[in-house]
Structure 1
Amino acid sequence: MKFLADESVDRPIVERLRQEGHQVLYIAELKPGIPDDAVLNLANQETALLLTTDKDFGELVFRQRLHMHGVILIRLAGVTPVRKAELVALAVREHLSELPRSFAVIMPGIFRVRRVSE
């Protein structure tokens, strides 16, 4: 699967997904500091699922109804970066088919996915 990781995403998450064979583009390596709507546009251009810790993407998707290929919101405050990477990789493995065209949220012990219609 192809992902675009927002610069807010911990590097161990990016590295772990790459190790598992996913293509992961990383805003921190490509275009640090670009606005959220540009990040979402880039994810769409790349046909990539967006990984982020920024709740503002919910606003862009649900209130502004901007197009998206898929968003995974990582809400794992207080969890070590290595453990976050494990939890994200596990969620991706277990729910890969549900992720396109969905807004998913990963929290400790919880995975929620909401299909987004256009």
Structure 2
Amino acid sequence: MDFLIDVNASRNLGNVLISQGHDVAFVTDIDPEISDENILQWVVREKRVIITTDKDFEQLIWQKIKNILVFYVERTYPVRKDLFYSTKF
């Protein structure tokens, strides 16, 4: 599965997903100040799932694009690797 980790989500979570064999892109590696609308365009173009703590995406998605999967995560530190299944999604 391909994921996009938003600037406000844990990089550690992205690293855990990478260790499980997933393709993960980080918004902070491209442009930490990119707009939410540009992030949505990125996700659609690359068919990624957004991982974020930003609930503003919900409104944008309903207004613009309805076929995007977003995972909202609470900020918890550190990310515990034992919480993830050892099999791929």
Give the TM-score, by structure 1 length.
Answer: 0.64
Alignment-derived partner of residue 21 in structure 1: 21
Q: 1:65 offset after TM fit, Å?
A: 3.9
Which residue of the partner structure matches residue 12 of structure 2? 12
| Structure 1 residue ranges, 4+ long, deviating more than 2 angstroms after superposition | 65-69
For structure 2, list consecutive stretches of 5 or more residues without a partner in the other structure.
none
Assess, with a 3 A threshold, how the Cα gap between structure 1 residues 27 and 86 changes in structure 2: closer, same or farther.
farther
Deviation per CA, 1:8-65, whole angstroms, max 9, x where unpaired? 1111001100011000000001121101111111011111111111000111123x14
Matched-pair identity in %: 31
When the two chains are superposed, the root-mean-square deviation of aligned CA atoms in Å is: 2.1
- Aligned AA (2:58): G
Q: Structure 1: which 5+ runs fail to align?
A: 97-118
Structure with higher strand content: 1
What is the match of residue 106 of structure 1?
none
**Deviation at 1:81?**
2.8
In structure 1, give the amino acid aligned to 2:20: E
| 1:41 aligned partner, one-letter code | Q
Whole-angstrom CA distance in 1 between matches of 2:6 and 2:67? 14
Aligned twin of 2:77 = 80
TM-score, normalised by the number of residues in structure 2: 0.83
Q: Which amino acid aligns with 1:81?
A: P
* Pair 1:58–1:68, CA change in 2 (3 A): same
Structure with higher RCO (Cα < 8 A, 6+ apart): 2
Asked whether the 8 Å contact 1:50–1:70 carries over to 2, the reply is yes
Output the CA distance in 2 between the equivalents of 1:7 and 1:60: 17
Aligned equivalent of 1:112: none
